[in-house]
Amino acid sequence: MFKIAEIFKAYDVRGIYPTDLNEEIAYKIGRAFVIFLKVKEVVVGRDGRLSSPQIFEALTKGITDQGANVIDIGLSSTPMFYFEAAKAESSIMVTASHNPKEYNGFKFCRENATPISGDTGIQDIKKLVEKNQFKDPKNKGKIIKKDILENFLKHNLSFVKTNKPFKVVIDAGNGMGSYTFPKIFEKLPFNFIPLYCEMDFNFPNHEPNPLKYETLKDLQNKVIEEKADLGIALDGDGDRCIAVDEKGNIVNCDLMTALIGKSLLKTNPGSLILYDLRSSKIVKEVIEENGGKSKMCRVGHAFIKQQMRDEDALFAGELSGHFYYKDSFFTESSFITTAILLNLIAQENKSLSELVEPLKKYFQSGEINSDVSDKEAKIKEVEEKFKDTEKILHLDGLSVYYKDWWFNIRPSNTEPLLRLNLEANTKELMEQKRDEILKIIRE
């Protein structure tokens, strides 16, 4: 028996092929998607996973059997998919992002590449799949192939504002960045040094998940060995990235948000920039020092993209390595992120490490997970202990602010976990408050 309910997640569909997600379910999802959105056309892209051709074939048969046409953009990274999805009435990407090779899944969008999440449609699609009562339309749809690569490359190249001969190492982790990044870089004056840029979804070198810092060791070593200006690690579907400076140091994603914001504000003064509420307070400081407006956002791409649209934000950065751009249809792009970091290095005539160093003013705990059975009760208990605070927010879990330190605890969507992020003005205060809060959470 397939565990249908378990593959429908908060932001997408994901499961192990063929035990959790197979052709039969993919076919039903195709039909359910068309019924739910009442659409006549669906853009479909797919990553290079070993099961993607079979899943793609079943999904698109479901879509066409339900009477809608498929615009088949073929092999694509997620940013490449979003580029076409932004012009479409609906779209589906066949991918399992950074998950291990045996996984596959779907990302769903309605018009303008607007993501469909658990509470905006994924659960409705699941119910239709479970009900399994599909009526055949009068006419079936057809599959129309479309090559979008050249236009996608032009779109990306428009963000490069420097012709300095920078040396850049790209670790694509054998994922979809292997398909797009070499094609973009061959049109640029940079010295492109590929690392694991042979597409192979067996992931022979390391898991394509740059948030696991142990996967970055080869990139760090290569940057030092080649005396490169910048190293970038990509995830499996090519939408997330992490930067490494010329000394081989990993640049935290909140500091990347601050730097990208600083660069964009040079040509877009006064714009609004959103930042992940777990970010260092240096992010807000840098944005406002450079003439921008700053605002926190909750974690999760569907929430961030909606807030960007609602408030017309120029840019948003998330600690997961997703960086979102208004000028790229309010979607994330690892190449645009790479381009803007290079633009900034050229604009400031400083190395990346020199740009990052002044931002390291505060001391962070990093994200610490704790097993908690009753998450809501524990959050209330923590809030009660710190009710003397200057400011409390409930934007995503609980955020508590004092003059010289702050913390956020938020529940995992999928596991019995509470996640703690804490920052303080001194290392001693950070460690003291971290231990104090963990004691409450874990007792």
List, by residue number, the catalytic residues. 97
Q: CB pairs under 8 A, 24+ apart, for 268-273?
A: 268/314, 271/313, 271/314, 271/315, 272/311, 272/312, 272/313, 272/314, 273/313, 273/314, 273/315, 273/316, 273/317
Q: Is 298 helix (H, G, I), strand (E, B) or coil?
A: coil
Q: Is 110 helix (H, G, I), strand (E, B) or coil?
A: coil
- What is the rounded distance in angstroms from the CA atom of residue 121 to the CA atom of residue 36? 8
- What is the rounded distance in angstroms from the CA atom of residue 88 to the CA atom of residue 1? 35
> What single DSSP character describes residue 117?
-
Q: Is 191 helix (H, G, I), strand (E, B) or coil?
A: strand
Q: By C-alpha distance, which of 334, 340, 337 is closest to 80? A: 334
Neighbouring C-beta atoms of residue 358, cutoff 10 Å? 10
- What is the rounded distance in angstroms from the CA atom of residue 148 to the CA atom of residue 225? 36
| Residue 120 half-sphere exposure toward CB, CA atoms < 13 A | 13
| Biggest distance spanned by C-alpha atoms of the chain | 70
Q: Which residue has the tokens 């956002």?
A: 297
